[in-house]
Amino acid sequence: MAAELSEARAALAGVSNEPGAPKPDPIVKGSNITRTFGGLKAVDVEHIEIQRGVITALIGPNGAGKTTLFNLLTGFDEPDEGDWSFNGKSLANVPAYKVARRGMVRTFQLTKVLSKLTVIENMRLGATGQRGEKFFSAAFKSLWSAQEDANTVRADDLLARFKLDAKREDFAGSLSGGQRKLLEMARALMVDPELIMLDEPMAGVNPALKQSLLGHVKSLRDEGRTVLFVEHDMDMVRDISDWVIVMAQGQIVAEGTPQSVMADQRVIDAYLGAHHDTDITEIDAADLEAEAEAELDAEAEENKS
Ligand SMILES: Nc1ncnc2c1ncn2[C@@H]1O[C@H](COP(=O)(O)OP(=O)(O)OP(=O)(O)O)[C@@H](O)[C@H]1O
């Protein structure tokens, strides 16, 4: 694991910390992507590149445009303008389920498991890519019979891996928040994606499941997939990211390793400027407190002399 981690980081060693920095082997590349809601520019990304085979965190204060960018890249929303590619092929105007079939799958901040289907039924439907609920219910029976065997074997393997096999026949609606997140991650893997995008995987997950979720995310990278995740939990960001991209007010404002980004004044400004209430305030507040104390000490020293 440690060797793979350093391999992922080593690939990024020469990358600059400037927003939109080119990567040596980008799996996603996008330019001039904008999306406005009324008068609000929710996304205004000049350039973005996501390095293949590493875990990239997308962070930023509430309303920074992270989820909207996810929605655009995965075909769940349409931009005002912009183009982006996955494995060198443009994805502009490609619908979500086709994006998923090409190998780029995402999960949602509020999980979209289908409560009235069982866990195994949810899994089998993951094999169809990311269609809407109506499609799922209509297509369910025919897909089940057509591809039952292959899909079921894969689904059962994944359920075992995510320790959800005991819940196989339970309604997804009966799962805890954390188990739903696991189910969504497992379901996303049904199409064997190269890139998996997780929107706040830790939100609503109890501490006992957090560690297991972290392990699962790392194992996705260690088996050669690319992971991009949005998260407010800075412990998770620090613990598992190889690279961090910071958004504020629709734009990318900083990039770098977790350590460099968390020490970056632009990041501190972006968070503190938005009066956010996430973990990074605690880090920054501690830093600021230490700074203030040092200043007071210096002043006291001066007064003495
Ligand atoms: N469908 C929509 N209609 C109108 N405004 C929207 C819509 N979706 C997002 N917005 C606005 O766009 C901005 C960016 O929202 P977005 O959800 O992408 O931010 P975020 O960085 O994911 O925030 P959070 O961390 O709170 O999830 C916000 O001001 C939000 O209110």
**Each residue's pLDDT tens digit, 187-246:** 999 989 999 999 998 888 888 888 888 999 999 999 999 999 999 888 889 999 999 999
CA atoms within 13 A on the CB side of 158: 26
Q: Is residue 256 within 6 Å of ligand 1 at its C-beta? A: no
Q: Is residue 65 within 6 Å of ligand 1 at its C-beta? A: yes
Q: Which residue has its alpha carbon closest to ligand 1 atom 24? A: 62
What percent of the chain lies above the pLDDT cut of 90?
50
Q: pLDDT value at position 236? A: 87
**CA angle at 66 for the pair 61 and 70, rounded to the nearest 5°:** 165
Cα 139 to Cα 76, 144, 171, 187, 205: the distances in Å are 20, 8, 19, 17, 31
- Amino acid identity, residue 81? E
Q: What is the CATH number of the domain that holds 150?
A: 3.40.50.300
Q: pLDDT value at position 279? A: 47
Q: Are 143 and 128 in contact (CB under 8 A)?
A: yes
Q: Is residue 74 within 6 Å of ligand 1 at its C-beta? A: no
Residue 151: name the closest of 175, 127, 173, 167 by CA. 127
Q: Is residue 36 within 6 Å of ligand 1 at its C-beta? A: no
Q: Is residue 64 within 6 Å of ligand 1 at its C-beta? A: yes
CA 156 to chain centre: 25
The span from the CA of 86 to the CA of 146, in Å, is 29
Q: Which domain holds residue 265?
A: 2-304
Q: Is residue 67 within 6 Å of ligand 1 at its C-beta? A: yes
The span from the CA of 72 to the CA of 58, in Å, is 14
Minimum-distance ligand 1 atom for the alpha carbon of 200: 27
Q: What is the pTM of this model?
A: 0.82
Tell how far the Cα of 65 is from the centroid of ligand 1, in angstroms. 6
Tell how far the Cα of 278 is from the centroid of ligand 1, in angstroms. 17
The span from the CA of 129 to the CA of 102, in Å, is 9
Per-residue pLDDT of the chain (305 residues), as tens digits, is 455 556 778 889 889 999 999 999 999 999 999 999 998 999 999 999 999 999 999 999 999 999 999 999 999 999 999 999 999 999 988 998 889 889 999 887 766 667 788 999 889 887 765 444 455 555 555 555 555 677 888 999 999 999 999 999 999 999 988 888 899 999 999 989 999 999 998 888 888 888 888 999 999 999 999 999 999 888 889 999 999 999 999 999 999 999 999 888 878 777 755 544 444 444 444 444 454 455 556 555 655 55
Q: pLDDT value at position 139? A: 56
Q: pLDDT value at position 135? A: 52
Pocket test for ligand 1, best of 37, 59, 78, 199 (most atoms within 8 A of CB): 37
Tell how far the Cα of 42 is from the centroid of ligand 1, in angstroms. 6
Q: Is residue 106 within 6 Å of ligand 1 at its C-beta? A: no
Per the structure, the count of domains in the chain is 1
Q: Is residue 250 within 6 Å of ligand 1 at its C-beta? A: no
The span from the CA of 52 to the CA of 195, in Å, is 8
Model ipTM over 0.85: yes
Q: Is residue 179 within 6 Å of ligand 1 at its C-beta? A: no
Cα 248 to Cα 59, 135, 229, 268, 271: the distances in Å are 9, 35, 16, 11, 8
Q: pLDDT value at position 278? A: 47
**Residue keyed to tokens 């060198």:** 88
Q: Is residue 39 within 6 Å of ligand 1 at its C-beta? A: no
- Amino acid identity, residue 131? R
